[in-house]
Amino acid sequence: MSVTPARSTAADAAEAAAHAQPEPRLRISEIFHSVQGEADAVGWPTVFVRLTGCPLRCTWCDTEYAFHGGQWRSLDEVLAEVVQYGARHVCVTGGEPLAQKRCVDLLARLCDAGYEVSLETSGALDVGAVDARVRKVLDLKAPGSGEVARNLWSNLGHLQPHDQVKVVIADRTDYDWAVAQLREHALATRCQVLFSPVYGRLAPRQLAEWILADRLPVRLQLQLHKLLWGEEPGH
């Protein structure tokens, strides 16, 4: 009896293990089911996949708890949890989700699985590799955020009509800045533009009156989830 086949099998297994790609993983802050509070899909039951980490520090950030912590999860594990909620919409958010390079793989997998997928991104990282089926909600950081220097203007060239640009506005200075960008970059010809007041700092009615007075082609956005649940995490 020869032992050669057994040696060969063991050697093959060792070689296969050496060449195996590590399973793609992402650091996940939380996955939860809620009502989409922002942007074009507002009001739809949605599964949110919140990725850990962000290289920015906006003054009015409401998800600082996602800067650190979370758990490493494989893409298969994330997909398996998402499917349990039976929702048609999935929103990948953060933090800044694109700070993890495997985020683009997750977005493509979700699209392949047939979901309506949106991505909430700070606008500071390149969106060029994001799957074209994803609806990008791209922030432009106004001066009041403290991060205006981080806007990556080349991202505007990657916008499609189904995407949205969002400006979060803290005061009149931010508003004037946003109007200047709207005009300089012809934002409203590229996609929908959303102006959103900083929760608790700028009265929504004030922003509405500025928009109407200037006849702006933008949508006023209130954060529906804040109206429903305040600042409770998990919504």
Report the residue number, 195 or 216, with the smaller CB distance to ligand SF4. 195
Q: Does residue 152 touch ligand SF4 according to CB under 6 A?
A: no
Report the residue number, 181 or 196, with the smaller CB distance to ligand SF4. 196
Please tell me the total number of residues recorded for the chain in this structure.
235
Report the residue number, 56 or 187, with the smaller CB distance to ligand SF4. 56
Burial status of residue 232 (CB atoms within 10 A of its CB: 0-12, 13-18, 19 or more): exposed
Per DSSP, what are the bridge partners of residue 92? 49, 119
The least distance separating ligand SF4 from the CB of residue 29, rounded to whole angstroms, comes to 10
Site string (106-135) toward ligand SF4, x via CB under 6 A: ----------------x-------------
The least distance separating ligand SF4 from the CB of residue 168, rounded to whole angstroms, comes to 8
Non-local CB neighbours of 64 within 8 Å, separated by 6+ positions: none
Q: What's the rounded Cα separation, in Å, for the pair 160 and 103?
A: 19
What are the helix (H) ranges across the chain?
4-19, 75-84, 103-112, 172-184, 187-190, 204-213, 224-229
Q: What's the rounded Cα separation, in Å, for the pair 119 and 145?
A: 20
The least distance separating ligand SF4 from the CB of residue 97, rounded to whole angstroms, comes to 9
Site string (45-64) toward ligand SF4, x via CB under 6 A: ---------x-xxx--x-x-
Per CB under 6 A, contacts with ligand SF4 among 72-101 are: 94-96
> What residue ranges bind ligand SF4 (CB under 6 A)?
54, 56-58, 61, 63, 94-96, 122
